[in-house]
Amino acid sequence: MANILVVGAGVVGTATGNGFAKHDNKVTFADVDPGARERAAAFGFAAVEPDEIDLTDTDIVFVAVSAPTGADGIDLSHLVAASRSLGAALQRTPVSPLVVYRCTTPPGTTRRLTAALEDVSGMRAGTGFAVAYNPEYLRAATAFDDFLRPPMVTVGLFENDQKTAETLHRLYRPFGAPISFLGVEEAEFQKYVHNLFNATKISFFNEMRGIAHGCGLTRVDELFQITAVTAEGLRNPRYGIDDRGPYGGGCLPKDVSAWLAEMERLGIESPMASAARTVNIRMGGR
């Protein structure tokens, strides 16, 4: 059993804390929002304000505060504030917990947050405490169930930190999912690849659905279901991910070009298909 502190009692934090508690870990929450603390308390958990954090008996801290996107990009202020609160708690208590960040952030962010921990605590990562990155693959509507049954667990490590790897392997072992260990920046990048692929797939089929309806087709959902079976890019999860350069062959370059020419003749925009050809040409394809 581990003593776990979850900083941030929103969707991700609540799912994380509840999920670990299901496997007999002791969980405490910390959040600046009184409403979030009340929700955590309603689940039967202790919930404190950030300046009340006591790490005396804490093994692992999961940081799951929000990182919203504004006009200038990602807003890290909540994460920095949480890191500084944890740094102050580290300074007050001579312990060596593992701090694990869960938020979707650009590569390099966890290093910046580690610097904030070091600055406030006066300790050095790797000696006074350890840091890792553990992206979440949760859907808002089913976050708790998703946490209990993850398809995979990804952990980003600093300097191939085997002690941290062993700690998180033990913690996640009861969930029965494969665990992949990467570098911290690689794990941060992977989470963006994960989300951007989902966004791209949804946008592609929305584009095709709109064009199909514009052409007077009615059985669009049915033809998409057929595509899910016939398109290798959908039925084979490894299709297209290996480093083999631009797409080629006898069909793909000519069919993308023919499609875009027909869309231009009809006065219909097809930006997803156009972007695919632009990327392919940039890589030396057609």
**The predicted structure's pLDDT at residue 128:** 86
Residue 85 has pLDDT above 90, yes or no: yes
Q: For residue range 36-46, what is the model confidence (pLDDT) as tens digits?
A: 999 999 989 99
The domain ranges of the chain are 3-183, 192-282
Q: For residue range 247-283, what is the model confidence (pLDDT) as tens digits?
A: 999 999 999 999 999 999 999 999 999 999 999 999 9
**The predicted structure's pLDDT at residue 192:** 97
Those residues whose C-beta lies under 8 Å from the C-beta of residue 147, and which sit 6 or more positions away, are: 15, 16, 18, 19, 136, 138
**How many CA atoms does the CB half-sphere of 95 hold within 13 Å?**
20
| Confidence at 167, pLDDT banded by 50, 70, 90 | very high
How does DSSP classify residue 176?
Answer: T
**CATH of the structural domain 3-183, one choice from 3.30.420.40, 3.40.50.920, 3.80.10.10, 3.40.50.720:** 3.40.50.720
CB 104 within 8 A of CB 192: yes
Distance CA 240, CA 245 (A): 10
**The predicted structure's pLDDT at residue 71:** 85
**The predicted structure's pLDDT at residue 94:** 81
Distance CA 19, CA 31 (A): 18
**The predicted structure's pLDDT at residue 93:** 86
| Confidence at 216, pLDDT banded by 50, 70, 90 | very high
Mean pLDDT (whole number) for 231-238: 95
**The predicted structure's pLDDT at residue 95:** 82
**The predicted structure's pLDDT at residue 72:** 87
Q: Where are the alpha helices (DSSP H) in the chain?
A: 11-21, 34-42, 77-92, 109-121, 143-148, 162-172, 184-214, 220-230, 232-235, 252-266, 271-282
Q: For residue range 135-152, what is the model confidence (pLDDT) as tens digits?
A: 999 999 999 999 999 999
| Confidence at 70, pLDDT banded by 50, 70, 90 | confident
Number of Cβ within a 10 Å radius of residue 210: 14
pTM, whole model, 2 decimals? 0.94
Q: Please give the structure tokens belonging to residue 50.
A: 């950030």
- Write down the mean pLDDT value for the chain: 96
